[in-house]
């Protein structure tokens, strides 16, 4: 059978995505009950990080250990990738030695090229264009707190970035509506918006996006790799802050998510994470469970 990768949310069918999400909820329960479940004894995860990470690294490494396997952390500083060894050659070599690979990198085509030359499943741990593992955790969190995704309205406020792109894919796959509010010039790719216009709508203001929505999500205004634009972004995004007053315009049962790390006083107010509608700590924890379910799915 062909090797399955997870480079975007489109790599799994809607039924497969739901299977992974429900398995994540089950694995979480098993862990809470102290069940020892080690299907990956002797298996190794290779983790290539070209950008910083707290949640992604810890969740993959801990998840692999809990499954009885192990993980290797690889950074460009101490591998030949950082000295110019081609991605294709690195993929051929690394995938002969490990059982599954996770990559966090810059251009999305780097992970596509790696996957094309890999013998084992490759998971996207974030690229400039997509962050599908985070969305798995977000969807699991929504299901746990509010049930079905189908027919719901989600609001994306802020940058039309990698997280926003993955939310667009999720809306398409799992049948919810996404309203997107970004400052002019920071919207998602217009071609993507046209392709997904059945499930994703660009609106003008943060208020337009959140009106009656069931989930409000945002992210940093300056993503990794965009540090030079930080001060201009701070000015341009000023009216796109999520705070309890903005949340009051959403559905009365709305919840708030942020993939973290968060910048209090920028994309969220100082008090937003203390608001009872914020579920960000559950969301962060679910990275662990969702990725364990994903690895189990890809390696079976
Ligand atoms: N949300 C997320 O991916 O966090 P890290 O950058 O810490 O991995
Ligand atoms: N959009 C952010 C997400 C960080 C988890 C970034 O790419 O830096």
Is the overall model pTM greater than 0.95, yes or no? yes
CATH of domain 132-282: 3.40.50.1370
Active site residue 159: no
Is 233 annotated among the ligand-binding residues? no
**CA dihedral defined by 131, 136, 138, 139, rounded to 10 degrees?**
140
- CB 193 within 8 Å of CB 169: no
Q: How far apart are CA 36 and CA 25, in angstroms?
A: 16
Judging by DSSP bridges, how do beta strands 200-203 and 177-181 pair with one another?
parallel
User: How many Å is the maximal CA-CA distance in the chain?
Assistant: 53
Per-residue DSSP letters for 48-62? EESS--SHHHHHHHH
Cβ burial 161-189 (10 Å sphere, 16+ → b, else e): bbbbbbbbbbbbbbebbbbbbbbeebbbe
Cα 63 to ligand 2 centroid, rounded to whole Å: 21
- CB 7 within 8 Å of CB 111: yes
pLDDT tens for each residue of the chain, 300 residues long: 799 999 999 999 999 999 999 999 999 999 999 999 999 999 999 999 999 999 999 999 999 999 999 999 999 999 999 999 999 999 999 999 999 999 999 999 999 999 999 999 999 999 999 999 999 999 999 999 999 999 999 999 999 999 999 999 999 999 999 999 999 999 999 999 999 999 999 999 999 999 999 999 999 999 999 999 999 999 999 999 999 999 999 999 999 999 999 999 999 999 999 999 999 999 999 999 999 999 999 999
Nearest-CA residue for ligand 2 atom 3 is: 223
Ligand nearest to the CA of 125: 1
- Residue 1: per-residue pLDDT: 77
Residues with CB under 6 A from ligand 1: 53-56, 126, 134, 259-260
CATH of domain 5-130+285-299: 3.40.50.1370
Judging by DSSP bridges, how do beta strands 100-104 and 122-124 pair with one another?
parallel
Residues with CB under 6 A from ligand 2: 126, 131, 161-163, 219-220, 223-224, 259
- Residue 255: per-residue pLDDT: 99
Active site residue 219: yes
Q: Is 230 helix (H, G, I), strand (E, B) or coil?
A: helix
Cα 221 to ligand 2 centroid, rounded to whole Å: 9
Cα 222 to ligand 1 centroid, rounded to whole Å: 14
- Tokens 């790719």 correspond to 189
Helices (H) and strands (E) in the chain, counts: 11, 9
- CATH 3.40.50.1370 in the chain is located at 5-130+285-299, 132-282
Q: Which of 5, 23, 104, 233 is catalytic?
A: 104
Nearest-CA residue for ligand 2 atom 1 is: 223
Q: How far apart are CA 234 and CA 222, in angstroms?
A: 8
State the alpha helices, DSSP H only, in the chain: 14-32, 55-66, 87-94, 108-116, 132-146, 162-174, 190-195, 206-210, 230-236, 244-247, 280-298
Q: Which of 5, 23, 131, 289 is catalytic?
A: 131
Nearest-CA residue for ligand 1 atom 2 is: 55
The 3-class secondary structure across 111-152, one letter per residue, is HHHHHHCCCCCEEECCCCCCCHHHHHHHHHHHHHHHCCCCCC
């Amino acid at each position: 059978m062909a090797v399955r990768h997870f480079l975007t949310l489109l790599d799994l069918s809607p039924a497969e995505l739901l299977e992974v999400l429900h398995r994540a909820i089950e694995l979480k329960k098993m862990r809470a009950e102290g069940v020892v479940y080690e299907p990956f004894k002797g298996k190794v995860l290779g983790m290539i990080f070209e950008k910083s990470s707290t949640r992604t690294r810890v969740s993959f490494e801990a998840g692999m250990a809990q499954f009885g396997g192990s993980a290797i952390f690889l950074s460009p500083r101490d591998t030949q990738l950082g000295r110019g060894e081609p991605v294709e050659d690195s993929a051929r070599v690394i995938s002969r030695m490990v059982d599954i690979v996770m990559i966090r990198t810059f251009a999305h085509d780097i992970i596509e090229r790696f996957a094309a030359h890999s013998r084992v499943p490759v998971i996207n741990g974030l690229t400039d264009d997509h962050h599908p593992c985070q969305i798995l955790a977000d969807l699991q969190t929504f299901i746990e707190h509010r049930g079905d995704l189908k027919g719901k309205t989600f609001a994306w406020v802020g940058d039309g970035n990698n997280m926003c792109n993955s939310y667009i894919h999720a809306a398409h796959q799992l049948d919810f509506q996404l309203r997107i509010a970004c400052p002019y010039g920071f919207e998602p790719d217009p071609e993507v918006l046209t392709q997904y216009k059945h499930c994703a709508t660009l609106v003008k203001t943060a208020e337009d996006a959140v009106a009656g929505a069931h989930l409000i999500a945002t992210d940093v205004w300056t993503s990794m790799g965009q540090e030079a634009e930080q001060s201009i972004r701070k000015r341009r995004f000023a009216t796109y802050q999520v705070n309890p007053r903005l949340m009051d315009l959403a559905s009365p049962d709305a919840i708030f998510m942020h993939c973290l790390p968060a910048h209090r006083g920028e994309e969220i107010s100082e008090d937003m994470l203390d608001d009872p509608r914020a579920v960000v700590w559950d969301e962060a924890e679910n990275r662990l469970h969702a990725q364990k379910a994903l690895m189990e799915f890809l390696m079976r």
